[in-house]
């Protein structure tokens, strides 16, 4: 159905052989979604779609969101305008996932280019599944026990500091109080684990001293942008990128000032990030079983009988171990 050109080892693919201006079949939309989950970010060239078609493409993945701070296309509040000019250059300089300050961050985004600088202005993406897989088992287990705070005000602190910024964004601040997400989340479609903190919106790890929280977050921010986890896309007019916001971070390369760059984005509504306590318990327990440490390790013993572990979780975990011949 598509001619697929992988972009890099960890993520990214250009798809050719489809015209997004046409009425696409249910099967075509399903294949686009499958390829998005597989490659995490997919790209199309020479797609001169209308705002209606842009919105419809995003809605093929689910309901769409609006943004509380950015300008939008007239008559299309769902289409956010991302524009950088000599008088008003882009403020986004860091790697991030979109709108993680929400209880239900976006599933993904559909971004189209309208005006591109003569050179520069690329965007990079990084795979959070590859970043998670690149951690040691011990670090994976530790991070899976943590939660982090994400805050709209932190991400838009520069805009809030501008003259009139607090007044302009007062309602957005009120509507978006800080939220808590797991540091490691499970992707609801691929079932893979991903790192889910980012330098733009994550403020701290819950229940850790400030220095420890800062040290862990700084380590993760550096780790997730390891070059082997990334791909880079060069924009041309009418290019389209669709990325999975649950499993990637991205960063615009602001190397084109004072040139003009204009893109338009629709964000797709997502679900609440989670990491199953049962899944986390299985990993922890199986690791100790494989090491021969169950019941001979006081930490494992305390974990077994912690009041925070419900009988339901315990019984399911015992059943899982027995059914999979994991019991020592």
Q: How much of the chain, in percent, has pLDDT values that exceed 70?
A: 84
Domains (range + CATH), the chain: 3-268 (3.60.130.10), 277-323 (no CATH)
pLDDT in tens, 159-183: 778 888 888 889 888 988 999 999 9
Say which of 98, 102, 185, 288 is annotated catalytic.
98
Q: What are phi and psi of 175, to 5 degrees?
A: -80, -15
Catalytic residue among 39, 261, 265, 284: 265
Burial annotation 304-323 (CB, 10 A radius, 16+ → b, else e): beeeeeeeebbeebeebbee
Q: Which DSSP letter does residue 294 get? A: T
Instruction: Check if 96 is active-site.
Output: yes
Percent of the chain with pLDDT over 90: 73
Q: Is 98 a catalytic residue?
A: yes
Is 75 among the catalytic positions? no
* 224 or 283, higher pLDDT: 224
CA distance 124 to 118: 18
DSSP-assigned letter for residue 227: G
Confidence band of 300 (pLDDT split at 50, 70, 90)? very low
Q: What is the pLDDT of residues 53-104, one digit of tens each?
A: 999 999 999 999 998 888 999 999 999 999 999 999 987 889 999 999 999 9
Q: Is 265 a catalytic residue?
A: yes
Residue tagged 């975990």 (tokens): 317
The pTM assigned to this predicted structure is 0.83
Distance, in Å, from the CA atom of 60 to the CA atom of 268, rounded to the nearest integer, reads 9
Going from the C-alpha of 86 to that of each of 180, 255, 270, 302, the distances in angstroms are 37, 12, 34, 60
Confidence band (pLDDT; 50, 70, 90) for 301? very low
Q: Which pLDDT value is given to residue 326?
A: 40
Active-site residue identified among 96, 102, 150, 185:
96
What would the mean pLDDT of 19-37 be, rounded to a whole number? Answer: 95
Q: Catalytic one among 39, 250, 261, 284?
A: 250
- 315 confidence band (pLDDT: 50, 70, 90): low
pLDDT of residue 298: 43
Confidence check: pLDDT of 230 > 60: yes
Structure tokens at 42: 């997919």
Reply yes or no on whether the pLDDT at 319 is more than 80. Answer: no
Beta bridge partners of 174: none
- pLDDT tens, position by position, 124-141: 999 999 999 999 999 999
Nearest to 109 by CA among 221, 260, 264, 229: 264
Provide the 3-class DSSP secondary structure of residue 139: helix
């Amino acid at each position: 159905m598509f001619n697929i050109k992988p972009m890099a080892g960890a993520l990214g693919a250009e798809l050719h052989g489809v015209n997004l201006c046409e009425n696409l079949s249910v099967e075509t939309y399903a294949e686009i979604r499958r390829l998005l989950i597989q490659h995490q970010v997919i790209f199309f060239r020479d797609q001169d779609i209308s705002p209606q078609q842009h919105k419809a493409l995003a809605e093929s993945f689910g309901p769409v969101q609006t943004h509380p701070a950015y300008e939008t296309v007239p008559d299309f509040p769902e289409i956010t305008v991302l524009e950088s000019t000599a008088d008003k250059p882009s403020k986004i300089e860091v790697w991030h996932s979109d709108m993680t300050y929400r209880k239900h961050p976006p599933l993904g985004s559909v971004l189209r280019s309208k005006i591109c600088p003569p050179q520069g202005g690329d965007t990079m993406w990084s795979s959070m599944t590859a970043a998670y897989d690149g951690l040691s088992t011990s670090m994976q287990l530790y991070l899976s026990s943590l939660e982090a705070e994400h805050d709209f005000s932190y991400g838009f602190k520069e805009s809030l500091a501008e003259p009139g910024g607090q007044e302009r964004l007062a309602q957005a601040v009120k509507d978006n109080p800080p939220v808590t997400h797991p540091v490691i989340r499970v992707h609801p479609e691929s079932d893979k684990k991903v790192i889910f903190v980012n330098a733009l919106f994550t403020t701290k790890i819950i229940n850790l001293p400030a220095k420890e929280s800062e040290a862990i977050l700084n380590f993760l921010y550096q780790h997730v942008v390891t070059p082997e986890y990334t791909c880079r896309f060069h924009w041309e007019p009418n290019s389209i990128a669709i990325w999975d916001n649950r499993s990637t971070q991205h960063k615009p390369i602001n190397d084109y000032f004072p040139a003009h760059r204009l893109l338009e984005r629709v964000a797709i509504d997502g679900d609440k990030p989670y990491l199953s306590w049962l899944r986390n318990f299985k990993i922890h327990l199986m690791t100790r079983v494989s090491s021969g440490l169950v019941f001979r390790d006081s930490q494992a013993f305390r974990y077994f009988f912690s009041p925070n572990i419900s009988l339901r979780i315990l019984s399911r975990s015992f059943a899982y171990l027995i059914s999979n011949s994991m019991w020592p």
